[in-house]
Amino acid sequence: MRRRLLGRTAATAAALCVATVLPALTGGATAGAHSPAATHDSPHGPAADSPYRSVGYFTQWGIYGRNYQVKNVQTSGTAAKLTHLNYAFANIGADGKCFEANVAGEGDAWADYQHPVDAATSVDGTADTAEQPLAGNFNQLRELKAKNPHLKVLISIGGWGWSTHFSDAARTAASRQALVASCLDIFIKGNLPLLDGKGGPGSAAGLFDGVDIDWEWPASSGDTDTVYRPEDKQDFTALAAEFRRQLDAYGRTTHKHYDLSAFLPAAPAKIDAGFEARKIFRYLDFGTVQGYDFHGPYEATTNQQSALRAPRDTPVANDFSDTQAIGDWLRRGAPARQLVLGVPFYGQGWTGVPDGGTAGLFQPSTGPAPATWQAGNEDYHALKALAQSGSYTVHRDVRDGFAWLYDGTNFWTYDDPQVIAQKTAFIRAAHLGGAMAWSLDGDTADGELISAIHTGLNPPRHHR
């Protein structure tokens, strides 16, 4: 369920110069822009003092094969460095409403709030009991928030595989109202369905601090069964407005502001097809821009998957890059301070790659490289181990901000702390809202990448 397929339509702009072009696009004005710091509830923890958002996705399914538990977010030091944790994902049913169930490929309530967590795996060191109404990931997130009062947890709705019914659910005012009401009832108000003794009215009340709309993609193709229509563009705006309206109405009863974010594409064609850039940020607190999957082993030729700037010698006309993606949103009227740049905690890989005088870059391949969970897709911590194994060499394009591994046959494009340092410098120079990580389970046990994000966004101040 990684995010994929930016859309292979050619981009309308080349890479931008960080120092000059992006400030010009924003008009150099940030006064009155949405302030990331204003969304923090508590002064506790390093992230609370940062003017930037640090957003990390926790994947529902990561608790299985990867054995990445909510506790790991705490023990790695990651929780203290995040402002927002997005829980991926909630699904929308054919009836146009959010739901919780145990249906293969459709819902995993067992992971969310049913499975008992033992003392060794628990954030607070206490084992779940049979009597407690909330268990599983949700209860662990509640424990995580208790230790990190500054941290906001958002429910992310959709994703690549679960955006199937967004278009239908957003078509009319009545259907939008019903969708939003169902999502808020289950997740914000915490009225989880009672399943085998777990859940029930108010069982998850106070857990989620907002909603992340992860519709991939309005008015353009996504996963094979995802419905899309031209009118999705206006319907997305209306859906964001309805979420804002209902979140604010409920917030007046709880005396709390609930955040609303959205995951946004990098491809100009998808932006133009599906998003009214100037309008949606009236309702969103921020939007996370896809800064990865620019290329991958679904293509025959190796390339960068997440470069800061498009390489000068790329064989792809008007190639994708982080500066291109951010620049395209800025030119369409998105406020810089509400744009959060996504960075990958995984890499894309090809095999059967000749050197070609470029250490495998821009070369033909025979297919996806072998990997732990999915061919052609590997977590950062595993790629770091490859880099340290002696069989791979790390290569860098320092000017354009990307790195790759090559062993003479296999080629991996990925972000490491040095690349992230360049990207966070770009975020600060362009006066953006922060950084987002997909996904936390790809990091090392000591949170190497999230630490690089935190340090890069909040460099030490030197006093004379």
Length of the chain: 464
Question: Using an 8 Å Cβ cutoff, are 273 and 7 in contact?
Answer: no
- Between CA 170 and CA 161 the distance in angstroms is 17
Whether a cis peptide bond, with omega within 30° of 0, leads into 263 is no
- Between CA 417 and CA 78 the distance in angstroms is 15
For the beta carbon of residue 102, count every other beta carbon within 10 angstroms.
Answer: 14
What three-state secondary structure class fits 90? strand
- Between CA 272 and CA 269 the distance in angstroms is 5
What DSSP character marks residue 269?
H
Helix spans in 255-356 (H): 268-274, 277-280, 322-331
Whether a cis peptide bond, with omega within 30° of 0, leads into 89 is yes
Which residue numbers are catalytic?
A: 216
What three-state secondary structure class fits 403? strand
Question: Using an 8 Å Cβ cutoff, are 359 and 404 in contact?
Answer: yes
Determine whether 348 is exposed, middle or buried from the number of CB atoms within 10 Å of its CB (0-12, 13-18, 19+).
buried
For the beta carbon of residue 218, count every other beta carbon within 10 angstroms.
Answer: 29
What DSSP character marks residue 267?
-
